[in-house]
Amino acid sequence: MKIIISTDQAPAALGPYNQGVEVSGLIFTAGQIPLNPATGKLVDSSFSDRVYQVMNNLKAVLEAGGSDFSRVVKTTIFVTDMGNYAELNKIYGEFFPGSDAPARSAVQVAALPLGTDVEIEMIAYK
């Protein structure tokens, strides 16, 4: 059975998709961009601030689904500039300290929704 995950602590979906979906105890998040859920606007300060917003959005979706970062098994990161990779890794590592980090892919893409430069999606278990 598919269970839809929704929270007002993360941005509302920008299209015909859900913030997250649970199937058989696995949680699949939608890709999160640095939208402030309170304002619905993109965080337009530093790249670091945008990554923190993305991670906070993901945290909210995971928690709404009964999970957290310690249960993430896979992440996929999309950036428009691999020149930001070191800064991304530094912040990402704050959320996944030690050797218990999930598997991960990171790819550079030509463009992302609303013109942002970072999007991250996750798979976790309950």
pLDDT of 5 over the 90 cut:
yes
Cβ burial, residue 70 (10 Å; 0-12/13-18/19+): exposed
The domain made up of 2-125 has a fold known as 60s Ribosomal Protein L30; Chain: A; (3.30.1330)
Domain boundaries, the chain: 2-125
Predicted confidence at residue 14, as pLDDT, reads 82
Closest by Cα among 77, 76, 65, 75 to 125: 65
Predicted confidence at residue 99, as pLDDT, reads 85
The model's confidence at residue 100, banded by pLDDT at 50, 70 and 90, is confident
The model's confidence at residue 120, banded by pLDDT at 50, 70 and 90, is very high
Given a contact cutoff of 8 angstroms between Cβ atoms, the answer to whether 76 and 105 are in contact is: yes
pLDDT tens digits, one per residue of 50-97:
999 999 999 999 999 999 999 999 999 999 999 999 999 999 999 998
Predicted confidence at residue 30, as pLDDT, reads 98
CA dist., res. 42 & res. 117, Å (int): 11
